[in-house]
Amino acid sequence: MALLEYAIIGGILYGIFFSLVGVGLNLIFGVLRMINLAHGQFIVLGGFGAWIVYQYLKLNPAFGIVLSIIGAIIIGYPLYWAVVPRLQKSADPEMLSFILFFGLAQMIDAAMILGFGVSQRSVPTETLGAGNIGLLGQTFPDSWWVAAAVAVLAILGLYLFLTRTRLGFATRAVTANRAEALASGIEVDRISLLSFVIGLALAGVAGVFIPFLLGSVSPSLGDGLTTTSFAIIIIGSLGRPIGTVVGGLVFGLGTMLMETYLPSWSDLVPYALLVIIVLVRPSGLLGRAVRQT
Amino acid sequence: MRSLIRGRMAWVLAAVAAILVASLGTGRAASPPSEINIGTLYASTGPFAVSSESEYRGLQFWAEGVNKEGGVFVKAFDKKIPVKITAFDDQSSTSTATTLYNQLITQNKVDILVADFGSVLTSVAVPLAAEHHMLLIDPTGSGANFFTQKTDYLAEVSLPASSVWPVPLALFLLDHKIQRVAVIFGSNDFDASQAETLKALLEKGKVSPVYFHAVPTTESNYQVLLHTLAASHPDAVIEFGYAGNDISFLRALASSGLHFDMVFTVFPGQLFDLLIKNVGVKTLSYTLTYPTAPLVTYEKVTNGLNTADFVAAFKKATGRDANFLDVAGYNAGVIIEKMLGTATEFSQLAFHSALMEMSGNTTTLVGDFKINENGAQVGELLPVAQLQPEGRGLKIVVVYPSDKATGKLVNPAPRR
């Protein structure tokens, strides 16, 4: 019973964190109708940001969050203007974005290898707290709780932005129907740009905690994180950022339960869930027919 | 007249055919190649990049060294011939590696084929080499599945077969009367074969592991796994994984608040600096590992540089501190060098015969070279060592077997 409790609490914490890992990808897809296949690479860049902050600036790696946001703005604006408007004008932006961002992912991988080498980089766990915090008698490292707390705050912030601000309303309008939003006078390009940058920033912020939850950060992690994120947002609801939370929780709980009782099969979890969801409920657990245009 | 001409033509044709057959049979011996083309793969990205690049660097270091001396001595041609390395990047992908190994054999027509690092990337080369009747020089692919039948086309050169690795470890655990052993391992040839050997040997000694589970090779989160494992109350926890697994496992252990009296992982003994950087001295203190060269040194060698000389020369040439995989790559070169200097013909079968001839009477910087008829390395046995604090760092103390011990085991490990 204790093992089950541990797996459930661990799964919830892990799942909340993975909601943050996937939410940026979902936001960008929802608004731009583009699949950012370089999403995992932006997460890894966030991880290296935390490592740089700790290693060279001698600051707490949590300051990597600030660096990730600044980095998302610096990279996101020019990248958006360089590629997105051209893609939007093409006959099949979804498919072209797939190819373009795949190429971008390979470029970022290569640049990270040039900059950081192929070795794993870590940040001491104690920098986010040296102890363990318990819940219902089950203890987890401080870093897990911090990662989950930051994920909750970031997703809550995104939720409030989408439901309480004018820009958020406009973002939802673009997500619901881009053509109608344009016809009703919404500055679709501006909203798209903002969503793109927020999506990258959320990826970077998630990356800050990768060295803590996955042991280390290295350039090779990117593709795996993209695939997992993709599975999570399909499980939750493709195109609905808040649905990612449900996808993340299902992924986290599934993974931890499998690790407890059938560890050798645990990496099948996201893909098995993805296949089941696509077959049974193609719009995701929280989904509507979001891909209608 | 006609029959005379026909008869002469027949003689001429027969003579031409005889010359052609003779030249085909001995052509290579008659005209030595301008260079010995060694084909290999390396991974610049992906989970095996760190290890693979090190191993490749070691092989390059060897090639540069012999080329400075005018090349390797090839007995079949009775002369020195320069070495050329043809290498492609498989990006840690087995499917890419399959294509590239094929290319090395069929397009580049390399003279000698050397596998990439580790069992995963070697696994696709083993059947390809056999199919094309090429001898595969396998520096570190030690998965036991490769060595199940007699072959002339496989030779493991820088590490014992992974099924042999845990033999001293199992004897050590039995010797210390450790009754409750937990084993967690990656689901790949390299780790699984170690785990299965350990389990079999322990069971022979009437010890059944209290926890014995595989995890995905890409596993990076051990928090819940450690908690599940701790519920079996083990006296010793053995984790068989690649470097990334070991880092994640040890960091999760450090942050979990759990304590085990004895912890064993594989890669601190191979990539010591990488593990120190990522895991830290405190977490690695009192853990056990298989120490490999250059952490253990071999002074007397029959071929190549000894461990200490290699470390110094490698540092001078590359500016890097050598790790085991640099050593393994270099050692592969040393074995190839002796093989070419021994083989009486320049053919794959002659190369294999030369290796069998060298087996048992060759010592290099990783120990005694000894292969069996299945191509498995059965020399170069790995002792068991404990990482003990010394000043602000760690020292490697060999604790088993007793005739190689350099210090005493600290057991149970002090709580962090």
Model ipTM? 0.84
**Residue ranges in B111-158 assigned as alpha helix (H):** 118-123, 125-131
The percent helix, strand, coil of chain B (3-state, each to 5) is 45, 20, 35
Query: Does the beta carbon of A227 lie under 8 angstroms from any beta carbon of chain B?
Result: no
Tens of pLDDT, residue by residue over A14-54, are 999 999 999 999 999 889 888 899 999 999 999 999 999 99
- CATH topology agreement for domains B36-161+296-369 and B166-289+383-404: yes
Alpha carbon distance B198, B196 (integer Å)? 5
CATH code of the domain covering residue A197: 1.10.3470
* Phi then psi dihedrals of residue B316, to 5 deg: -65, -40
Tell me which chain B residue has its CA closest to the CA of residue A114.
Answer: B44
Average pLDDT taken over every residue of chain A? 89
Tokens found for residue A150: 């930051």
Question: Which residues are CB-contacts of B22 (< 8 A; sequence separation ≥ 6)?
Answer: none
Provide the pLDDT for residue B1.
47
**A274 in any annotated domain:** yes
Q: Helices A64-89 and A188-208: crossing angle, nearest 10°?
A: 140
Closest CA to B184 of A10, A263, A257, A215: A263
Question: Which residues are CB-contacts of A64 (< 8 A; sequence separation ≥ 6)?
Answer: A46, A49, A50, A51, A52, A53, A54, A207, A208
Domain boundary assignment for chain B:
36-161+296-369, 166-289+383-404
B92 contacts on A by Cβ (under 8 Å): 220
* Phi then psi dihedrals of residue B344, to 5 deg: -85, -15
User: Which range of residues forms the domain containing residue A236?
Assistant: 2-124+148-280
Cβ–Cβ below 8 Å for B225 and A259:
yes
**A136 in any annotated domain:** no
Cβ–Cβ below 8 Å for B248 and A256:
no
CATH number of this structure's domain B36-161+296-369 = 3.40.50.2300
DSSP letter (8 states) at residue A241: T
**A238 in any annotated domain:** yes
Tens of pLDDT, residue by residue over B57-88, are 999 999 999 999 999 999 999 999 999 999 99
Q: Return the amino acid letter for A52.
A: I
CA distances from A44 to A38, A100, A207, A283, B160 (A): 10, 19, 5, 28, 36
Provide the pLDDT for residue A197.
96
pLDDT at A88 over 90: no
Provide the pLDDT for residue A289.
47
**A290 in any annotated domain:** no
The minimal CB distance from B215 to the residues A11, A121, A266 is found for A266
The minimal CB distance from B45 to the residues A120, A220, A266 is found for A220
Mean of the pLDDT values across residues A162-173?
A: 93
Contact A210, A44 (CB under 8 A): yes
**A116 in any annotated domain:** yes
Classify domain B166-289+383-404 at the CATH class level. alpha beta
Total domain count for chain A?
1
Contact A115, A56 (CB under 8 A): no
Minimum distance, in Å, between the CA of residue B327 and any CA atom of chain A? 18
DSSP letter (8 states) at residue B321: -
pLDDT by 10s per residue, chain B, length 416: 455 455 555 555 555 555 444 444 444 455 889 999 999 999 998 878 888 999 999 999 999 999 999 999 999 999 999 999 999 999 999 999 999 999 999 999 999 999 999 988 999 999 999 999 999 999 999 888 889 999 999 999 998 888 888 999 999 999 999 999 999 999 888 899 899 999 999 999 999 999 999 999 888 889 999 999 999 999 999 999 999 999 999 999 999 889 999 999 999 998 898 999 999 999 999 999 999 888 888 889 999 999 999 999 999 999 999 999 999 999 999 999 999 999 999 999 999 999 999 999 999 999 899 999 999 998 878 899 999 999 989 999 999 998 889 999 999 999 86
**A293 in any annotated domain:** no
**A220 in any annotated domain:** yes
Lookup result for tokens 């050692």: B331
| Interchain CB contacts (distance < 8 Å): A and B | 111
